[in-house]
Amino acid sequence: MARGQSVHISLSGATQSELVWVVPADTFGCFIRVQLESSSGAGMLGLEHVEVLGSSSEQYVGPRVRDVVCAEGMTVAICTPLSGRGELREKFQRAARADRASVGVLGQLETFHPFVREEESEARAEDALYAASLTAKSGMEKREVFTAIAALEAK
């Protein structure tokens, strides 16, 4: 668990007889670590009663964590994909529609290369259609271009 996510980063004083710590929502783990940090180098903690509530790992249905990397104020869990190509494409498209800059970020990952190429191809086709709409002269040409634009946007 990242230090920044911890509810209690430091505790002091003998007046505290009970500490209840609630983990952030959707937290998954196998271990609990209690770490003492003392500027004098001496730290002591007495545990009379420890109660951990949660569900067994056999009941967990989320992605399997393949690797974990920690840094100051950050924990990154790298998970294996849950789904097939169709669902992966859907997640990519959702990210691309929410923020165009995410296409460049996701394009750095080999998994998303085919989707980035498709997205770039669609963007070029869309730009060409908008350019054609500006140069279309007759009503028939304009109607055909706008029909093609509507079909592209419906995707």
Number of domains in the chain: 2
Which portions of the chain are predicted below pLDDT 70? 1-64, 81-83, 155
Q: Which of 80, 115, 145 is the last residue of a domain?
A: 80
Q: Is residue 87 part of a domain?
A: no
Q: Is residue 91 part of a domain?
A: no
Q: Is residue 92 part of a domain?
A: no
**Residue that the structure tokens 């668990």 belong to:** 1
Same domain flag for 65 and 135: no
Same domain flag for 66 and 123: no
Q: Is residue 85 part of a domain?
A: no
The CA–CA distances, whole Å, from 126 to 7, 109, 134, 137 equal 49, 25, 13, 19
Same domain flag for 1 and 74: yes
Q: Which of 24, 47, 80 is the last residue of a domain?
A: 80
- What's phi and psi for 79, nearest 5 deg? -110, 150
| Domain around 63 | 1-80
**Residue that the structure tokens 């165009």 belong to:** 100
pLDDT the model gives residue 22: 66
DSSP one-letter string for 46-107: --S--------GGG--SPPEEEEEEETTEEEEEE---S-HHHHHHHHHHHHHH-THHHHHHT
pLDDT the model gives residue 1: 40
Number of neighbours of residue 70 by Cβ within 10 angstroms: 12
